[in-house]
A and B are shown apart, each in its own frame.
Chain A
Amino acid sequence: MSAHGLTDDFLQRAQHALGQDFLRQAVRKTTDRLRDGRAQAVREAGDFEAWRDALSAARRRAIARLDAVLRVFVERASAHGVQVHFAADAAEACAIVVELARAKGARLAAKGKSMLSEEIELNQALEAACVEALETDLGEWIIQLAGERPSHIILPVVHKPRAEIRELFEQHGGVTLSDETKVLAGYARDRLRAEFLRADLGITGCNMAIAETGAVALFSNEGNGRMVSTLPKTHIALMGMERIVETRADFVDLMRLLPRSATGQRITTYVNVLHGPKRTHELDGPEELHVVVVDAGRSQQLADRDYRDALACIRCGACLNACPVYSTVGGHAYGTVYPGPIGAVIEPLYARDDERRAELANASTLCGACHEACPVRIPLHDMLVSLRQANARQGRGDRSELALQRVAARAMAVPFVYAGGGAVARWFGRFVAGDGAWPRFVLQHTPVLQTMARQRVLPQPPLRAFRDQWADLVREDMRGSDGR
């Protein structure tokens, strides 16, 4: 464990990321493009703050009475033939899906993009049950071929150069391709089309459920979401239990805010709202629609007033794009399914004993840009402080550093200790200031400050503190002069 309360994991991954030129420029380009898109959309919209007010309220309202809202959803969805299942945790959610797949004799499950399915590790469960789980979102398919995790909630594969994508496709298909985007996308289109047509099972997430009409809504740009929810005989939608609004009017606010917050689009190419399987007189569409409502740590979050508002998240990724840490090192540095500010908050909550996730609370400058960008105004920066408090209470992280910080904080409360300590620190600071050999040597052996030695030249501290100069300032005032 390092000297600063972080296991080496985040530090190591972040440092690794910092050394990767392609990754750095790719992540920066992505986050700049997406947040500029959002900023443009906000300027053009005019009503953006009013929409934000409405959606923030709508999400909190639904969450505050989630049991009642879900009851209405289930009742109305069931009336249209939706089969609703409930999963307490990830394992149960996987079991339900695997059992459905078995019951249908499914050999191939075509998947639309679903962060929840990543979270519960569904693909592994399906593969273990001899069901091929095929990602069909272009980015998700690429990372599936590469055996990686997505590095961004909306654009999963921006960390990957096109040459690597080409190589993956060439290996996969035994073909020769060029690096051009059109060619690569065309290859994916042709290969995956056949799969859409032969898949037994379609699995998607659920961007938002609507209680009023018992609906499940899917937002997408590529059309694969439509494919997997239309062509296979059975469609399963995985739904985080908190992903629901009460009314269609609330849903209109979401339609206005989600695409703009994510990429700056006025609306995604496709918004698909499903009320049930195909009606008997309809020609095509799935014969069965199953919704698996998943808890997996969300009810625990609901119980905790410090973190309940994080359930309002609509998974737009705006916080990632606004975050100085994310936009510098990218998603893989976090080492979790959800990266960025929202990930740094919910991942420790989903696995409360995991120290590796707990450390993510420190991967933030607390600049508040996430809260500013969030369409539903989640105070992520305050939640990160709450997580740091939980870490301190439970003694997670570097205990000696924490003890030192406590001593310092308590010392700050006693004026003469503060003043005396400050004087000592300034005196000591003269020995570690500047970039001479001796100061650097001393700094490298000073606890707490030693990691700074790797990156900083410390300035020469002042001889006198402000409070030491106050008497002079009083005299100055009495004389009526101030150096002029």
Chain B
Amino acid sequence: MDAESFYARIASALGGPSPALHLPAARKAAPVAATVTERRAWAHLASERLRSVGGSAECVPRSQLAARVQELVGGSPVVRVADALLPSEVLSVLDQATVCTAVDAHTWREACAAATWGVTDADAWIAETGSVLLCAQRDRPRATSLLPRHHLVIVPLERVIPSLEGALNAMVDTPSQWLLVTGPSRTSDIENDLTIGVHGPAVLHVLVVDEETD
């Protein structure tokens, strides 16, 4: 059926066509200003919330970031997002084990499927739910956070925000897709028995990089 006929059926059911709906185009709002203390409090809350659904999280000072990533990832096969999105000291650690750089979708997909860790940044980490926000973009192929067995998120403290509303405002224009990830994949389909690690990654670990030292 063509669009106009479809709308006409609806209009007829409503007793007449509705007046045109004027929705202003979604605008990106100014990011929430907050102190370091506030952001650390949000990070703490986000951690608790993420932990309650089987994820894990920690705050790491920048000086210790590379060492921590080394501990977590070790020598496992890794795929990661593009250089621009990650702190430089992390790149050298990851590249010891990185399988390959993203060239084409097919090769990348195979690399991701073979990798133990997919390492990404995030556009935001949300205290309300413990969710990581990932908007699709060229430097952040989707498969990186989807196919590997484990997902590691490295996000600066200033991107920790309080609420879901803030997530919408944190987006760059209208990406082809945005995604909230809150924990490892799960199902209770079998006799209501919860199991972690189904199709998506079985581990979600968030490293919040705290620039300031106390």
Q: Do chains A and B touch in the complex (CB under 8 A)?
A: yes
Residues of A that sit less than 8 Å from B by CB? 26, 29-30, 33, 64-72, 74, 80, 84, 86-88, 92, 136-139, 142, 155-158, 161-162, 165, 181-182, 184-185, 188-189, 192-193, 196-197, 211-213, 221-224, 226-227, 229-231, 241, 246-249, 252, 255-256, 263, 265-279, 281-285, 293, 295, 299-300, 302-303
**Is B188 part of the contact surface with A, judged by Cβ < 8 Å?**
yes
Residues on the A chain within 8 Å of B176, using CB: 80, 274-279, 282, 285
Interface residues of B in 14-52 (CB under 8 A from A): 14, 17-21, 23, 25-26, 49
- Per the bound structure, the CA–CA distance linking A270 and B129 in Å amounts to 12
**Given A227-B146, A269-B182, A282-B138, A222 contacting B198 (CB threshold 8 A):** yes
Interface size on B, residues (CB 8 A): 68
* Complex Cα–Cα for A26 and B189 (A): 12
Chain B residues contacting A256 (CB-CB under 8 Å) are: 164
B141 closest partner in A (C-beta): A283
Contact of B2 (CB < 8 Å), options: A86, A192, A270: A86
With A241-B10, A267-B129, A299-B13 already in contact, the answer to whether A29 and B192 are too (CB < 8 A) is: yes
Q: Is the CB of B129 within 8 A of A266?
A: yes
What separation, in Å, do the CA atoms of A274 and B180 have in the docked complex?
12
Is B100 at the interface (CB under 8 A from chain A)? no
What's the nearest-Cβ distance from chain A to residue B194, in Å? 8
Taking beta carbons and an 8 Å cutoff, which residues of B are in contact with A?
1-3, 5-14, 17-21, 23, 25-26, 49, 53, 102, 104-105, 108-109, 113, 129, 131, 136-138, 141-143, 146, 164-165, 168, 174-195, 197-201
Contact of B191 among A26, A263, A273, A303 (CB under 8 A): A26
Q: A65-B14, A80-B176 are in contact. Are A283 and B191 (CB under 8 A)?
A: no
Q: Is there an interface contact between A269 and B185, defined as CB atoms closer than 8 Å?
A: yes
| CB nearest to A182 among chain B residues | B195
User: Chain A contacts of B129 at CB under 8 A?
Assistant: 266-267
In the assembled complex, which residues on chain B have CB atoms less than 8 Å from the CB atom of A86? Answer: 1-3, 5-6
Q: Which of B6, B14, B23, B195 makes the CB contact (< 8 A) with A302? A: B14
In the bound assembly, the distance between CA atoms of A472 and B195 in angstroms comes to: 68
Could you list 9 further interchain pairs (A-B, Cβ under 8 angstroms) beyond the known A272-B177, A274-B176?
A182-B195, A193-B113, A222-B186, A223-B198, A231-B109, A269-B183, A279-B136, A283-B104, A302-B14
CA distance A212 to B168 in the complex (A): 12
Nearest residue, chain A, Cβ from B181? A270
Whether the Cβ atoms of A270 and B174 lie closer than 8 Å is: no
A88 to B140, CA, bound (A): 39
Shortest Cβ distance from residue A162 to the other chain B in the assembled complex, whole angstroms:
5
Minimum Cβ distance to chain B for residue A44 (Å): 11
Q: Could you say which residues of chain B place their CB within 8 Å of the CB of A158? A: 189, 191-192
A50 CB to nearest B CB, Å: 14
Assuming the A-B contacts A275-B175, A284-B143, are A222 and B185 also in contact, with contact meaning beta carbons closer than 8 angstroms in the complex?
A: yes
Given A246-B21, A271-B179: A255 touches B164 (CB 8 Å cut-off): yes
Main secondary structure of the interface of B (DSSP, over half): loop
What residue in chain B is nearest A229 (Cβ atoms)?
B177
Residue of A nearest to B168 (CB): A248
Report which of B175, B178, B199 forms a contact with A227, defined as CB distance below 8 A.
B199
Residues in A with CB closer than 8 Å to B13 are: 299-300, 302-303
Whether B199 lies near A136 (C-beta < 8 A) is yes
The reply to whether B174 and A80 form a contact with Cβ atoms under 8 Å apart is yes
| Nearest opposing residue in chain B for A140, CB measure | B189
- Contact indicator A223/B199 (Cβ below 8 Å): yes
Which residues of the other chain, A, contact B180 by a CB distance below 8 angstroms? 267, 270-271
* Chain B proximity of A394: nearest CB distance (Å): 21
A213 to B27, CA, bound (A): 10
A156 and B199 contact, CB distance less than 8 A: no
Chain A residue contacts of B195, Cβ below 8 A: 181-182, 185
- Max count, chain B CB within 10 A of own CB: residue among A157, A241, A300, A303: A303
A59 to B202, CA, bound (A): 35
